[in-house]
Amino acid sequence: MSWNDTSARATLRRIFNAAVASADPAKVVAAHLPERPSGRCVVIGAGKASAAMAAALDTAWQDVDLSGIVVTRYGHAVSAGRIEIIEAAHPVPDAMSVEAAKRILESVRGLGPDDLVIALISGGGSSLLVSPAGGMTLADKQAVNAALLASGATIAEMNTVRKQLSTIKGGRLAQAAYPAKVVTLVISDVPGDDPSEIASGPTVPTQTTLEDAREIVARYKLDLPEAAQQVLAQKQSQISPAPMNVDVRLIASPSMALAAAAEICRQEGLPSIILGDALQGEAREVGTVFAGIAQSVKSKGLPVSAPAVILSGGETSVSLPKGCTGRGGRNTEFLLSLALGLNGLASVWAIAGDTDGIDGVEDAAGAIIGPDTLVRLKQAGIAPRQALANHDSHTAFKAIGDLVVTGPTLTNVNDIRAILIG
């Protein structure tokens, strides 16, 4: 097939859309439900996909007497029948995040061994489910989250700190439900699919320690509120070894999404190679690396011969300097860096987007680039290198109409990147 801009962009959107669809809660929840309980059934949850997961569960178990409450991001709520939906803020928590944690903890207390708790957990839950430890206030938690988000720390590192500053994360929610069994259905948005990291693992025991959290704070030179520093300075962790009865089931993940993307490539007659589902690092640096890989495919046929698609997943990061006013997310920053690295290389197009539909705090999932991206940016009055230096990638791609806008997808399996080399 001879690729042109129209056909390449259409194929990249099909690839991205297939990856998102593979994690649709309506398709994946029912197959992973446990046996129906003999006692009560309480449904809880937190994350960007939690409302859609709750709706799928309510539909699948119409014959079960259940009740519950889950929290999702503002704008991600859907009707879930008998399960109440609360909305809260992301990526920095608000008062509803605290209210949600309080009510969810209350809903699982006093249960017995014949009762069942189903926890619906997906990415974003760390901000949506907040119960400050020690003398911390909501304002303290907001400051901690803001510092972590700007630090360039990985999601695992951020969650290690969050767990030690919480009375609900790191398995504490499952401890509150004991002796009831807690079956956790997880849609993974973290590299490696470690369930203790997704939403900071409220129903999963953690292996990270107070010392781990202190090391991360020191390494990134995080300026934390005094109350948070006092919690981290304690000799004993907030996370106790109290018993819990847990069963964790991974129902959707980045690797599954990449497999769905690869199937679209096969249908298009395009060889594809998946370079990993857990790639991390500074977005602009990863963009430079992938530009080199695309050039190698184009000129040397390595690691695959063109035409082909390079697929990858994971979560890059963006380290923001103080006072930064640029608008962007990790996917648009990756793509702007990639475009600069490719420097107009013929017959190469790429898409990168967050499968939840929101790249950072912006109103787009990501963007698409092509051989003419740099030229079109300059024609629109955008200096590409300056935009990258200012972390202003969203503004750049909006100026040329190349943002990928999906709206909330009601799922979240992290970022999907695809580079089509014709």
pLDDT number for residue 238? 77
- Tell me the mean pLDDT in the region 380-397: 97
pLDDT number for residue 371? 98
Tell me what the pLDDT averaged over the chain comes to: 96
401/412 Cα distance (integer angstroms): 24
69/82 Cα distance (integer angstroms): 9
Residues 300-338 have pLDDT tens digits of 999 999 999 999 999 999 998 888 888 999 999 999 999
Longest CA–CA span in the chain (Å) reads: 67
pLDDT number for residue 191? 84
- Tell me the mean pLDDT in the region 203-232: 96
Residue 408 near residue 75 (C-beta atoms within 8 A):
yes
pLDDT number for residue 116? 98
pLDDT number for residue 239? 85
Residue 316 near residue 366 (C-beta atoms within 8 A):
no
- Tell me the mean pLDDT in the region 140-159: 93
- Tell me the mean pLDDT in the region 43-66: 98
pLDDT number for residue 1? 67
pLDDT number for residue 360? 78
pLDDT number for residue 379? 98
Range with the poorest average pLDDT among 56-70, 339-353, 359-373: 359-373
- Tell me the mean pLDDT in the region 167-171: 96
**Whether residue 67 has pLDDT greater than 90:** yes
User: Residue holding tokens 């080199």?
Assistant: 292
pLDDT number for residue 361? 73
Outline where DSSP puts E strands in 13-115. Answer: 41-46, 66-73, 83-88
- Tell me the mean pLDDT in the region 120-126: 96
392/219 Cα distance (integer angstroms): 26
Residues 7-43 have pLDDT tens digits of 999 999 999 999 999 999 999 999 999 999 999 999 9
Closest by CA to 294, choosing from 346, 352, 232, 359, is 346
Structural domains in the chain plus CATH codes: 5-21+255-421 (3.40.1480.10), 24-252 (3.40.50.10180)
| DSSP element (H, E) containing 11 | helix 5-21
Sheet strand arrangement including 66-73: 83-88, 66-73, 41-46, 116-122, 181-187, 246-252
pLDDT confidence bin for 168, thresholds 50/70/90: very high
Given CA atoms 342, 345, 298, 422 in this order, what sign does their dihedral have? Answer: positive
Question: What residues contact 28, with CB distance under 8 A and at least 6 apart?
Answer: 56, 187, 251, 252
| DSSP element (H, E) containing 265 | helix 254-267
pLDDT number for residue 316? 93
Using alpha carbons only, give the angle 93, 333, 24 rounded to the nearest 5 degrees: 60
Residues 186-216 have pLDDT tens digits of 999 988 899 999 999 999 999 999 999 999 9
pLDDT number for residue 80? 98
Residue 65 burial (C-beta neighbours within 10 Å; 0-12, 13-18, 19+): exposed
**Whether residue 261 has pLDDT greater than 80:** yes
User: Residue holding tokens 């693992």?
Assistant: 201
167/147 Cα distance (integer angstroms): 20
User: Residue holding tokens 């890989």?
Assistant: 293
Percent of the chain with pLDDT over 90: 93
159/200 Cα distance (integer angstroms): 5
